Amino acid sequence: MIGRKIGWFIKNYSEVFLYLLLLVSLFGRKVFGLPDLSTFVLLSPLLFLDDPFKWKNKWNLSVITFPITLLTNVDLYTLLHMTLSAFAEELFFRGYLLRRYSNVLVSFMFALPHILLYQSLQSALTFFPSLLYGVAYQKTQSLVFVSLLHLYSNLIYNYILAGVAQG
């Protein structure tokens, strides 16, 4: 009986629980200096989704363009970190939360941790690219494609636009 109730809870509320866990993890990191567990939370939908990669999707051919990122002046560690972060965020927000909630709500939920963590106007503006990622995921159903879109937009912002703005 208890096992059935736990299964029902996970099936119906796992998205909310994991999102709250993400916020608590980021809050604990920011306020108390606790270890950052957000990557584990963001990757946890891999336990719940049947085929998160959809490898046979034609949009996954975008993997071929990945070497383009190597042309930027980014060290390998940073590139791997940015790739994992983009994938983890897209898995959680698009591949997992977008199954149940609207793109607008998921985009707000995407922007909130960025605002809590970085407390800047740019972090609040992540709402708008998040809308784009949501539309791209809804059209393609490709987590790989939308993760690379996210990665490329981060590379463009961090290494081109931010570099131009700094002078």
- Taking only the tens place, the pLDDT of each residue in 118-164 is 888 888 999 999 999 999 999 999 998 999 999 989 888 887 766 64
- Distances from the Cα of 92 to the Cαs of 64, 118, 119, 158, 164, in angstroms? 24, 20, 22, 22, 31
**pTM of the entire structure?**
0.76
* Whether the predicted pLDDT of 167 surpasses 50: no
Output DSSP code: residue 57: -
* Whether the predicted pLDDT of 165 surpasses 50: no
Our measurement of the distance from residue 41's CA atom to the centroid of its chain's CA atoms, rounded to an integer in Å, reads: 11
Determine the Cα–Cα distance for residues 114 and 125; give it in Å rounded to an integer. 9
Average pLDDT in the 42-51 region?
74
Residue 72 in contact with residue 155, Cβ under 8 Å?
A: yes
